[in-house]
């Protein structure tokens, strides 16, 4: 009986020593553990270190670029112009434009890319939308033939076209638009001629 008690005491002491050793070992390794060495990135690391550094980098790059530089890069990118042209054509297929005059026009809008010095003269009713670039109206002063339907106003000789606005030349009287910037793109339908100024 005495041997049994002694054996139980020895076993209990061994278990106690083992538990003490393991708790000390776990505590020591926990102090040496650093989350940056963990292959699994913690949420706090993403929120407190990674996200601010990326934001700072992007802000630094963006702050050096002006809106004009971005717009110019898009205007010079042919794939962007093609994309915009296709989107506008798709939208125009099912859109019925208001009419402010009589005359017939072709069913489809055509895409034109023009250079400075070229001009479009209406031979009848003509509709157009300036996509990029710059152009002005020419023709008899205050004739009333050229209307910016989107802005609900008449455009006289020398008036600038607004990008994206729907413009209509109601009848043939020598009116049209003169392109003043290279790389000017527009959608047009109706009766017209394109010539050099």
Its pTM stands at: 0.48
The CATH number of 101-196, from 2.60.120.1030, 3.40.1180.10, 3.40.50.10860, 1.10.10.10, is 2.60.120.1030
Residue 136's nearest CA partner among 113, 120, 112 is 120
Local confidence pLDDT in tens for the 197 residues of the chain = 556 566 666 655 656 665 555 565 555 555 555 555 555 667 777 788 878 888 887 777 777 777 677 777 776 777 777 777 777 777 766 655 544 333 334 568 888 999 999 999 998 889 999 999 999 999 886 677 899 988 889 898 889 999 989 999 988 888 899 999 999 999 999 888 998 86
């Amino acid at each position: 009986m005495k041997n049994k008690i002694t054996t139980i005491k020895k076993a209990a002491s061994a278990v106690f020593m083992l538990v003490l050793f393991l708790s000390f070992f776990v505590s020591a390794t926990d102090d040496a553990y650093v989350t940056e060495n963990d292959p699994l990135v913690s949420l706090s690391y993403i929120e407190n270190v990674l996200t601010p550094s990326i934001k700072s980098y992007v802000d630094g790059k963006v702050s050096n670029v002006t809106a004009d530089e971005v717009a110019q890069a898009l205007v010079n990118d042919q794939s962007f112009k093609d994309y915009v042209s296709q989107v506008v054509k798709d939208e125009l297929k099912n859109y019925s434009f208001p009419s402010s005059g009589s005359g017939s026009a072709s069913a489809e809008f055509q895409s034109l890319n023009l250079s400075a010095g070229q001009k479009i003269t209406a031979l009848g009713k003509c509709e157009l939308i300036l996509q990029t670039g710059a152009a002005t109206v020419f023709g008899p002063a205050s004739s009333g033939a050229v209307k910016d339907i989107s802005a609900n106003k008449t455009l006289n000789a020398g008036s600038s076209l607004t990008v994206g606005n729907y413009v209509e030349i109601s009848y043939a009287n020598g009116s049209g638009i003169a392109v003043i910037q290279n790389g000017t793109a527009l959608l047009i339908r109706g009766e017209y001629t394109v010539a050099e100024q």
